[in-house]
Amino acid sequence: MTTMTAFPLSEVSRKVLRLQVITVIWMSAEAIVSLGTAWSSRSPALFAFGGDSLVELFSASVVFWRFVTHTTEERAERTAARTAGALLFALGALVVFGSVTTLLGYNQPTPSRLGIGVLVAAIAIMPWLAREKRRLSGLTGSAALRADAAQSNLCAYLALVALVGLAVNVIWHIRWADPLAALAVVPFIAYEGFEAVRGRPCGCK
């Protein structure tokens, strides 16, 4: 599909690539910190957020590859979106398992200020990334970039929900708030996975 733009395509492509480099760097740091902190603090909410960050990293890498190689093959984009959807379904199942075992007392999440820090940073950064990707997807007509924009936007919501669970645990030492927050993000993860598998990555026009 060809889209008329006010800028040369090469200029728009460079903007996309710069944005994806920022995304890949941030998502790598976000995933490493979130999953590492989730392991040390036994936090299901951080595990859910970190796992979604890994899927977002995969999505950003696919978009970067698509614009570096100048490919417009829709089959490749659909395959990437469906792979991301399958990964999200697997993540949702793992989050449910971890949350339930925590609620049953097999794990005891501890307060994590580092985890709160990365969640606050994500809430600040991800909406801007989502907005820029959505704008550029309109200029390029890329379904993969639209999907990436939707995932960046969802990442901010997941960070907000996880932040509430961690903050409650830090302030009031209510340990069940953490796994409850993790369970609260599962419907969002499942919805994102369902839309990706259907080949409708977001509602962007």
Residue 38, C-beta contacts closer than 8 angstroms, at least 6 positions apart: 44, 45, 46, 47, 49, 50, 115
Burial environment of residue 47 by CB neighbours within 10 A (0 to 12, 13 to 18, 19 or more): buried
pLDDT 10s digit of each residue in the chain, 205 long? 444 344 445 688 889 999 999 999 999 999 999 999 999 999 999 999 999 999 889 888 888 887 887 666 667 667 777 787 888 899 999 999 999 999 998 888 998 889 999 999 999 999 999 999 999 988 887 777 887 888 888 899 999 999 999 999 989 989 899 999 999 999 988 888 887 777 654 444 4
DSSP assignment letter at 7: S
- Which architecture does CATH list for 13-197? Up-down Bundle (1.20)
- Ordered by start, the domain boundaries in the chain are 13-197
pTM of structure = 0.84
